[in-house]
Each structure stands twice: as C-alpha cells, then as structure tokens.
Amino acid sequence: MTIGIIGGGATGLLFSWYLSRQNPLKIFVRTNNQAEKINDNGITLYKAKEPWTSKSMTASSSYEGLEDCGVILIMVKQYHLSGILPILSKLPKEIPLVFLQNGLGHLDDVNELPNENILLGTIEHGCQRIDSDSVRHNGTGLTRIAPLKGDVVRLKSILKDYDEDFPISFGDSWKQILYKKLIVNAAINPLTAVLNVPNGSLVDNPYFKKLLHSILEEIIPLFPEVDEKEMMQNVVGICESTKENRSSMLKDIEAGRKTEIDAIMGYCLKQGELLGHQMAFSRLIYEMVKGKEVEQGG
C-alpha cells in the first residue's frame, strides 16, 4: 500500500525517510528541482554521526498518482493548504487523509472535505532541513494522531510496527492533542522569536519567565478542555528539556522566512475575540512578530 506525503520540508523529508522503510512511498514536492534530486539521490537522514540514505521512494512535482495512494499525509505549512484542498476534494473518498499542521485555523475547511476518514496529528520530532534531499533528525518525538472524522482503523493498519526512533500514537481526542500543541507553540515560539533567545531562557531568565506566564494566562483559558495548572507545568517542562533549541519561529525570523504566527497566535487572538477575552499581551507579541517578518523580509 503506497503512502503519499505532500510537502518536502523538514518534516516531509523526515517522515518520507522513516515511512519508506516499510511501505512504498511517494513524496509530492513543489519544485521539479527537488523532485529530481530526490529521485536521483534518495533522501539522506543525519542522526548522530552517520548519514543514512534511503532510496525507497519516488518524488513528483505534480499530483499525478496521488489517487493511487492508500493514505495521504499532508505536511505543508497551514498557509500553503488553500492550494491543496481542492485537489484533495477530488480524490476517492476512502483514502484516509492525515493533516499535520500547526494551528487550528484550517479545521473548518478540512472538515468540509468529502473524505470518510480525516485525521489530525501533531509532531514532536526535532528536525531541520539541510538541503532539498537531506534532513537532520535532532530529537525523537511522538507523533500523535486522532480522527476529526471517521476513525483511525485503516490508517493504523498501514502505519503500524515502526521502530523506537519513530513512535506513532493513535488517540481519540483531536482536541486534546491539537489544543495542547497550539498552547505550547503560542507560548514558546513567538516569545523566543521576539526575544531572540533559546527555549531555556524563557524559564531561566526571571523577567522572561514572567512574560511566559502572562502569555499562558491569556492563552490557556481559550481552551476550557485543557487543565490550566498541568498545561503550565507542561510548557515549563518543554522549555527545560529543549533548553538549547531555537524555536522554529525564531529560525524562520532569522532566515527571513514567513512564520506560522497567523496559524498559531492569529488563531488565538480570533478565539479571544469570539469569547470576549482580553488578549493584550498576545496581541503585542503578535504585532512584534509580524513586524519582524516585515523587517527581515525587506
């Protein structure tokens, strides 16, 4: 059963490398150049010292053959989804679709797809794209998947039996997994991007820790399903265990790339408006990141 992966970024390459070890795999990327490089060289994974190359996949810069996949993982940034949804809506309804974006702003559109099984997931791996056909796997993390519509039965039968470097868990509540991931991202990413510090500074620096708490106090109440105290500890724990890491949003700012601020903080601000919550801190941080995008871009 062929697995389809849409997206040739860091996570797309990482998943392609791991999942191609047990299944035929096709990766759909945006440029001819990347497709050719992957078809010629395979994908190389850097983990520890030894790079490992896998050639057990084919790459394509068109969506030809997408309908022959047994399952499709959509691994593009949320702001690239709009171009892909119309293509997905024409696929056979029995193909399970797995969406692995940050944020929640896309769920209404995704929900309207006619497919029977639509799954949502979050990724905790630390990874970094080195080149269009190579990726660094910095830290193993859990991939959590839960159904938005339908169930995970078919998907589970395809994605089973992976090794300990690539664990996948199947759950029932997409809200729990997506809300928690969103809160983590909304607290850590924009703040580290604005302050230009690694994750650990948000708990080591007493002033930055105060800011982290201020943000969390605004964000967590947007999601009454999430336990406030437990979530606070969770975020602090993540800052501690990823002390040296520079967040993806900080890296995006440094590289002059578009960030996921709208998918993450923009979504929270909209929720705050709907619920009538005061979001002064979050709004300020949002404006700062948007401004930094403009600054870096030009």
Nearer to a copy of itself, 9 or 200 (CB): 200
Strand 3-6 versus strand 71-74 pairing type: parallel
Tokens encoding 179: 């809300």
Residue closer to a copy of itself (CB basis): 115 or 192: 192
In sequence order, what are the beta bridge partners of 168?
Answer: 143
Q: Among residues 69, 45, 56, 52, which one has the least CA distance to residue 127?
A: 45
Q: What span, in angstroms and rounded, lies between the C-alpha atoms of 118 and 112?
A: 10
Catalytic residue among 181, 209, 243, 251: 181
Nearest approach, Cβ of residue 275 and a copy of itself (Å): 18
Please tell me the distance from the alpha carbon of residue 109 to that of residue 96, in angstroms, as a whole number: 16
Residue 287 sits at φ, ψ, to 5 deg, of -60, -35
CB atoms near residue 176 (< 10 Å): 15
Q: What are phi and psi of 266, to 5 degrees?
A: -55, -45
Report CA-CA distances (Å) from 87 to 47, 56, 83, 119, 282: 34, 25, 8, 17, 35
Instruction: Give residues in contact with a copy of itself (CB under 8 A).
Output: 194-197, 201, 205-208, 210-211, 214, 280-281, 284, 287-288, 290-292, 294-295
In the complex with a copy of itself, which residue's Cβ is closer, 164 or 207?
207
Beta carbon nearer to a copy of itself, 22 or 214: 214
The rounded distance, in Å, linking the Cα atoms of 153 and 147 is 10
Contacts from 220-223 at CB under 8 Å and sequence distance 24+?
A: 220/183, 221/277, 222/268, 222/271, 222/272, 222/275, 222/277, 223/175, 223/179, 223/182, 223/183
Q: How far is the CB of 201 from a copy of itself (least distance, A)?
A: 6
Q: Least distance in Å: CB of 209 to a copy of itself? A: 9
Query: Of the two residues 207 and 274, which places its CB atom closer to a copy of itself in the complex?
Result: 207
Residue 242 C-beta: closest distance to a copy of itself, Å = 18
Determine whether 181 is an active site residue. Answer: yes
CB of 297 to a copy of itself, least distance (A): 11
Catalytic residue annotation: 181
